[in-house]
Amino acid sequence: MNGSQTSREKRAWRVGLILAVICAAAVLVSLNTGTIRMPPASVIRTFLGMGTPDDKMVLFDFRLPRILITMLAGIALGMSGAILQGLSRNALADPGILGLHAGAAFGLMIYVSFFQTMEGPVSLWIPLFTFMGGVLTAALIVLLAYDRHRGVLPVRLILIGIAVAAGFSAVTLFFSLRLEDTTYAFTSRWLLGSVWGRDWVHVAALLPWVAVLVPYALSQSRSLNAFTLGDELAVGIGTDVGRKRLLLLAAAVGLSSAGVAMAGGVGFIGLVAPHLARRLVGPMHQHFLPIAGMLGLVILVVADTVGRSLFQPNAIPAGIVVAAVGAPYFLYLLVRAK
């Protein structure tokens, strides 16, 4: 037992290291991608403060904010999916499938209808609104999926999630029809999962959520491990099931809502990243949570880079790239599950 534990840990470190290299490479390529040609050498030179004024503007004003947002959103979505899968004991749980994205979209729609603008310091509020939308859906789903004798039923959770998502999408659509033309065009693109944040203020809006919730989730990996054993056993080994579940669920909702706020309704990352992570480093949360976050980062950064470079000049939203790869993977999982 002990032996397998340490070998798993070794493996987690090894995979983590390789992934870190891939992350760095993906980010570098992404920084390198754009209309203005900028070789990696001048990217590095500019970072060291020795670039030309133009290089500085391209890197710090145009590219870096967007890439940071993509990275943070990727981590948030990957981790959120990992936490949800642990909590629900269901490998198909994903913030998108569970309806959290629909809730977040609903929150955004309320925000857009109310403030009319997505720019400037007000945009710091966007994650808060998507979070409230997310919490609302999560509360509804948990309430409806709760069985007094058996607790939250994983299968019911997914089905109810789909139903609630449909309901919220309908309301969102209703609100979106009352928007101005340009705002409507923006929100419909956003809902597909387009990394729209371009400014540092958007990084500032997203960073606190990731900086607080990711360490919290990592610190709770033991509780998550306990949850995978089932509620009875978890109580048996001394976990405060009710409170912990609520806190972790809130963390997952917070992460996915913040990610969705800035990167749009990117589905499947929350599903694919934890899956790959589990196959890479095994089922212990202390191992696969950080790996899932890193995989989320790589997937979203690569998808965004592909989306905005491969199809020039008409950039396609990252969400579509992810879905194009994620949907078949989801089907593959379903088929294999039988």
Partner 1 sequence: MKKTYLSLLILIMAFLTAACGQTAPQSNAAPAPQQGTAGDSKQPAPAGKEPRIASLSIHLTSELLALGITPIGSVVGGDLKAFLPHVADRLKDTKQLGVVADPDMESLLALKPDVIYADKDYASKDVAKYEKIAKTEVFDLNDGTWRDTLKKVAKLVGKEPQAEAFIKDYNAQAERVKKSLQSQIGDGTVLAVRVTPKELRVFSMRRPIGPLLYEDLGLKPAKGVDKISKDKAFEVVSQEVLPDYDADAIFIVLNKDEGAQKLFQQLQTSPIWQGLKAVKANHVYVVPEQPWLDYSAMGAKMALDDAEKRFAK
Site for partner 1, rule CB under 8 A? 11, 15, 18, 22, 25-26, 29-30, 32-37, 53-54, 57-58, 61-62, 117, 119-120, 182, 185-186, 276, 279-280, 295, 298-299, 302, 305-306, 309-310, 312-314, 325
User: Minimal distance in Å, beta carbon 219 to partner 1?
Assistant: 26
Q: Which is nearer to partner 1, 46 or 239 (CB)?
A: 46
Non-local (6+) Cβ contacts of 132 within 8 A are 107
Q: Which is nearer to partner 1, 285 or 308 (CB)?
A: 308
The phi, psi pair for 107, rounded to 5°, reads -60, -45
Q: Which is nearer to partner 1, 49 or 120 (CB)?
A: 120
b/e sequence 318-328, b meaning 16+ C-beta within 10 Å: bbebbbeebee
Helix (H) or strand (E) holding 147: strand 146-147
Cα dihedral 286, 287, 292, 294, rounded to 10, equals 100
Q: Which is nearer to partner 1, 32 or 163 (CB)?
A: 32
User: Minimal distance in Å, beta carbon 57 to partner 1?
Assistant: 6
Non-local (6+) Cβ contacts of 338 within 8 A are none
User: Minimal distance in Å, beta carbon 22 to partner 1?
Assistant: 6
Q: Which is nearer to partner 1, 159 or 310 (CB)?
A: 310
3-state SS assignment for residue 146: strand
User: Minimal distance in Å, beta carbon 239 to partner 1?
Assistant: 30
Closest CA to 70 of 251, 318, 316: 318
User: Minimal distance in Å, beta carbon 137 to partner 1?
Assistant: 29
Q: At what angle do helices 221-228 and 285-309 cross, to 10 degrees?
A: 100
Non-local (6+) Cβ contacts of 295 within 8 A are 19, 78, 272, 273, 276, 277
Q: Which is nearer to partner 1, 130 or 305 (CB)?
A: 305
